[in-house]
A and B are shown apart, each in its own frame.
Chain A
Amino acid sequence: MRPFEYTRPARAAEAVAAVTADPGARYLAGGTNLVDHLKLGLTAPTALVDVRDALDDTVRTLADGGTSIGAGVPNSDLAAHPEIRRRYPVLSAALLAGASGQLRNMATTGGNLLQRTRCVYFQDVTTPCNKREPGSGCSALEGHGRDNAVLGASEFCVATHPSDMAVALCALDARVRVLGPDGERTIPVNGFHRLPGATPERDTVLSHGELVTAVELPPPVPGARSTYRKVRERASYAFALVSVAALVQVRDSQFVDARIAFGGLAHAPWRARRAEEVLRGRPVTEESFQVAADAELAEARTGRDNSYKVPLTVNTLASVLRELTEEDR
């Protein structure tokens, strides 16, 4: 491990100033991803600015009935929080589907959003990877591709985003509050993570020095039913082959609204706007599930090893919608 400066400021503004001043500096929160990267040689920051004292670690109700989650709230605490469990069960379920108990104790809300892909080539410094070393090439395109993205990928990168939490946040239309050198801004979580395009080294729209300070959830949708389904070959402690966060509102056996997000399919959590559009106003039938799923996956591009993801996603979404609408058919 290479030597680096370590500081632990008490206030977020100090942390932002410290990282902004040093292009080689990085924020450290729970460290569940970054520390691995230090060991693997994926990154060699000049300074680590530990934000655990600087970040809000509380969950608060907002004036509009929404909820603010401090970026320092550990994943375990957030999953177990009574308000989250009662009002946003899809978020609690997504958190509990991720990682292991030990990791969830350390990992923070902000850090979870910013975790990086587990693409095996990204994590192996001996192989080319555009995300790790721009311009070096993508080893996954023609390599081991079971986990590769099928939506929104580019010739430069086919990595998938690993977070479960972020998938639920996308379905909940969460907003990410960010503090930067020029002050605060709020970014919709749908749009916070980038598709790779020609610059896969950038996972999110954040600039250097910007620090996630909170995640805000709008008030729960009245009458909505929700669930999080994670499909994985190992029953725990595995990243999703595909995951689905879904909220539906149904009246008179018709979909009034649906909010659906996928994990495991793309460089970012994938909000399934097409499927949602198809479902709105449609009857609650097997055919609707299928048409919606097919519409979302119509532009999927698969390689040698990941074609299974298309039928798997279609089946999983149909399964989730079936489960959520059992009483409506």
Chain B
Amino acid sequence: MADTALPLEAGTTVNRPGLLNRIFLHNLPAKIAALPMMATVLVVFVGCTVWTIYYSFTNSKLLPTGKFIGFEQYERLFSTSRWNVSVSNLIAYGLMSLVFTLVIGFVLAVLIDQKIRFESAFRTIMLYPFALSFIVTGLVWQWIMNPTLGLQGTLRNLGWTGFTFDWIANPRMVLFALLIAGLWHGTGFCMVLMLAGLRSVDDEIWKAARIDGIPTWRTYVSIVIPMMRGVLVTAVVIIGSGIVRLYDLVVALTNGGPGISSEVPAKYVYNYMFSGGNIGQGLAAATMMLLTVLIIMIPWAYLEFGGKGRRT
């Protein structure tokens, strides 16, 4: 493991020859203690990523031994309807989920911030779904949305015969079914983040706005939300990177169905790697997911860390 750490260590010390020995012996226990971290960074986060990108350019089928074939896997990827459906699903679901999570999270946080009674009870109720797994979430909602015995069947039995809530079995509505379950799981958490943001705004600001006669809603829109920029950006990054990973919920709720109407990229990757026997294709799809995250991350990292350099 120490060997794998060599290139980077050596690279940072070329400017000061002669100190090389001290670089390795200095702080030796700390370096030994940090070996698992170095190994994780170099082998997993750097090594595995490079490996995945490299082998996405090969024609590997059952074993990753194929030869280099350029962008063929990617051409095939984007001519596969299942992948294209997955991508457009993710975009549609992602935008809806992002907007609704932020809006609901913010509205709930504002309501809870109005010096209400039972505040902690409301918070407890709103956050508990976040403690449950996506599998549990998906299975409960699958049962609630069961067309014959769930909500639809119940209301029809109670006399509302025209009631329709068959989203889970309807290819055009299944993304909304996913959305209901996803929002149930995640909005409480967004509310907690937003509430922390709201309460970090100085009370003096509120007093000043009240003295100036600015209406409350206007204070929120023009003063408080801009002041919460940090929390909002954090929330967007967290929700966004969660959306790209969307997998368990789909497996539990719809398993991609009906047909392929609720497939998502993460599921595509898994299926090609572990049951489709086409590793190159799965790796190409995984690389596209990586690219998506980089597109989200780089502007954020630039905003957050750019300019003043690293923060401590």
Q: Do A and B bind each other?
A: no
Residues of chain A touching chain B, judged by Cβ–Cβ distance below 8 Å, are: none
Residues of chain B touching chain A, judged by Cβ–Cβ distance below 8 Å, are: none
